[in-house]
């Protein structure tokens, strides 16, 4: 649910980067943070990171996306820890979610992990009475920079078949490390979330 702060004329939306361990969720936020400036830029906080780069709680980045009907739209980006045994933390971070970026690791060796993580997302949403079929969701196929001749990457068609054949959500090919596709992903999920938020704000007007 978006949080509407009437004293500040601000609507806050929560977008969560979800996916298997090591798929590149934290790297997405780090890239966004490194490229935003001025009025848009907020704070980035990484809570409890072990051994340099494994998230064991969450990362948080707040950004200002402009206005709808006089309200500032502030998006709060979170990542979950992807490793299997941090499921309780993932459930905690999912609380109040408005939109999800599912980051899939394009490496062939991670094929099963992506599928397991998507099933885990569906299950954790269902526990919150949300459906993976209706929540604003985009899918990012990450690490596309690693493609070579003897490619260790899954072709996009396989990723589509594994992860998106039922959902049919927007997909973006990306490299969080090099930066391509990162802002496209953020734009796409923000568009879906803002559309949903506007619908809720307008329906409040009719009450
Ligand atoms: N080549 C390549 N490496 C990437 C890319 N995105 C992330 N990585 C690397 O993959 C590793 C894991 O990235 P993280 O962003 O920490 O992964 P995470 O999804 O946050 O992992 P957890 O916090 O354990 O869930 C790091 O060494 C990154 O530099 C990418 O697009 N291309
Ligand atoms: Mg992380």
Domains annotated on the chain, with CATH: 3-202 (3.40.50.300)
Whether the CB-CB separation of 99 and 72 falls below 8 Å is answered with no
Whether the CB-CB separation of 77 and 89 falls below 8 Å is answered with no
**Residue whose structure tokens are 């490619």:** 151
Q: Nearest C-alpha to atom 30 of ligand 1 is from which residue?
A: 143
pLDDT number for residue 3: 76
Residue from 111, 112, 101 nearest 154 by CA:
111
The Cα 112–Cα 97 span in angstroms is 25
Which stretch of DSSP H or E encloses residue 182?
helix 182-205
> Is pLDDT at 173 greater than 90 in this prediction?
yes
Residue from 160, 121, 155 nearest 139 by CA:
160
The Cα 172–Cα 186 span in angstroms is 10
Task: Could you list the beta-strand ranges (E) of 23-170.
Answer: 44-50, 54-68, 71-79, 99-105, 137-142
β-strand partners of 13: 75
Give the mutation target among 21, 28, 53, 60 for probing the ligand 1 site: most ligand atoms within 8 A of CB: 53
The CA dihedral of 155, 144, 57, 192, to the nearest 10 degrees, is -80
State if residue 118 touches ligand 1 by the CB under 6 angstroms criterion: no
> Is pLDDT at 155 greater than 70 in this prediction?
yes
Which atom of ligand 1 has the smallest separation from the CA of 144?
31
Instruction: Give pLDDT tens digits for 98-116.
Output: 999 999 999 999 999 999 9
The residue among 1 and 23 whose pLDDT is bigger is: 23
Instruction: Give pLDDT tens digits for 6-48.
Output: 788 888 999 999 999 999 999 999 999 998 877 666 677 776 5
Whether the CB-CB separation of 50 and 81 falls below 8 Å is answered with no
């Amino acid at each position: 649910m978006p949080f509407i702060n009437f004293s500040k004329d601000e609507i806050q939306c929560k977008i969560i980067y979800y996916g298997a361990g090591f798929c590149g969720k934290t790297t997405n936020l780090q890239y966004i943070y490194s490229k935003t400036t001025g009025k848009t830029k907020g704070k980035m906080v990484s809570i409890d990171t072990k051994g340099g780069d494994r998230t064991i709680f969450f990362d948080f980045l707040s950004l200002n996306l402009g206005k709808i009907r006089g309200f500032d739209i502030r998006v709060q980006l979170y990542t979950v820890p992807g490793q299997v045994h941090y499921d309780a933390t993932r459930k905690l971070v999912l609380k109040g979610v408005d939109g999800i970026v599912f980051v899939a690791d394009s490496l062939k060796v991670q094929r099963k992990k992506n599928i397991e993580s998507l099933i885990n997302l569906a299950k954790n949403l269902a526990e919150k009475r949300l459906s993976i079929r209706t929540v604003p969701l985009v899918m990012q196929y990450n690490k596309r920079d690693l493609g070579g001749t003897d490619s260790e990457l899954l072709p996009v068609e396989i990723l589509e078949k594994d992860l998106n054949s039922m959902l049919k959500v927007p997909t973006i090919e990306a490299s969080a490390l090099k930066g391509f596709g990162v802002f496209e992903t953020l734009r796409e999920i923000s568009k879906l979330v803002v559309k949903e938020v506007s619908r809720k704000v307008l329906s409040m007007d009719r009450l």
